Amino acid sequence: MNLIGSFFMARLGIVLYHGIDSGADLKEYGRLADEGGFESLWVTERYFHEETFSMLGFLAAATRDIKLGLGVANPYTRHPALLAMACATLDRISGGRFLLGLGRSDRSLIQDRMGIPYGSPLSTLEATVSTLRGLLSGEGGGNARLAISPAQEKPPIYLAAIGPRALRLAGTVADGVLLNAYTPTAYVRYAVNEVRRAAEEAGRDPRSVDIACMLTTRLTDDAESIWPSLKQRIVRLLAEPQVGEILLEKGGFDQSILAPVRASDKSDDGKYAATLISDDMVESFYLVGSEERCKERIVEYREAGVDLPLLLPRLEDYARVAGTLGD
């Protein structure tokens, strides 16, 4: 079977970025995904932008068949009881199409900016998954019990993960893992191994954990012209504590650039740091190039172990990506 034939037989999702201007626009984005042959449409959660559950409720009414994913909520800004209420409601009104993505967010946002105690994030995530499962199954969680039930017997819960502990937690307790955007295939192979091994150690079928990965997509026939801006985004990514270390190490890149990259990020807004980002890194961190090249890269991610690639285009490119890379 040729590359294009195998491409269209596999699962594929798309992600809706923030910046929605109107209900009419949101309805059109949902229609494009629903009719484009995508298995799922995911909505990103970014605080102080659009409220995600509101958009998913709108999309549940505006779409027919496509699964609707949240990528991702956290258990700090929404109590597990509220998360369970929202999950059950969305699953009911969508006819069993809802997928929940959970992540730990980060201390600087949750505690420093929003004033919510952060505590131990992985323990909080693990406890939240257990509480949600109890509430959504009708068994209850603590002294609480939902008065409504989801349409699905067990709405899937995906955990966002990048480091080894979070990956192992996903393999132990979650239905799926949601790998971070901007991840090279070499890192993906490492992450998949961590998830599968943890699942097996927990007595689960390793293949039962769905591996989803957001792929930052730039569909263009002139990729090199946008590389400067892409390199600046990689600089900001590598400047994040712990994220830079693991992506460079597991991605197979020179870790010695990390210190000067971070120094430049603070001193000159990353201008010098961008010169340290190689063209090979751009190719590895992004899905960038022509239609043919993007499809080749999606196949590479599948071969690295991704079950569900999730295309993440800029909002202004969403329609073209959905029409070109969809079924």
- Lowest-confidence pick of 2-11, 125-134, 184-193: 2-11
User: Average pLDDT, whole number, for the chain?
Assistant: 93
Give all domains of the chain, ordered by start, each with its CATH number. 3-221+290-325 (3.20.20.30), 223-286 (no CATH)
User: Per residue in 101-120, pLDDT tens?
Assistant: 999 888 778 878 888 887 89
The per-residue pLDDT for 52 is 94
62: nearest Cα among 102, 35, 99: 35
In the structure, what pLDDT confidence band is assigned to residue 312 with cuts at 50, 70 and 90?
very high
C-beta atoms surrounding 93 within 10 Å = 14
**105 φ/ψ sector (left φ>0, alpha ψ -120 to 50, else beta):** left
* Interval 158-168 mean pLDDT: 97
**326 φ/ψ sector (left φ>0, alpha ψ -120 to 50, else beta):** beta
The per-residue pLDDT for 275 is 97
Predicted model pTM: 0.94
Structure token digits, residue 302: 């599948």
User: Per residue in 40-81, pLDDT tens?
Assistant: 999 998 888 899 999 999 999 999 999 999 999 999 999 999
Model confidence at 5: pLDDT above 90 = no
Three-point CA angle 196, 118, 137, nearest 5° = 55
Percent of the chain with pLDDT over 70: 97
**In angstroms, rounded to a whole number, what is the distance separating the alpha carbons of residues 14 and 215?**
9
The per-residue pLDDT for 113 is 83
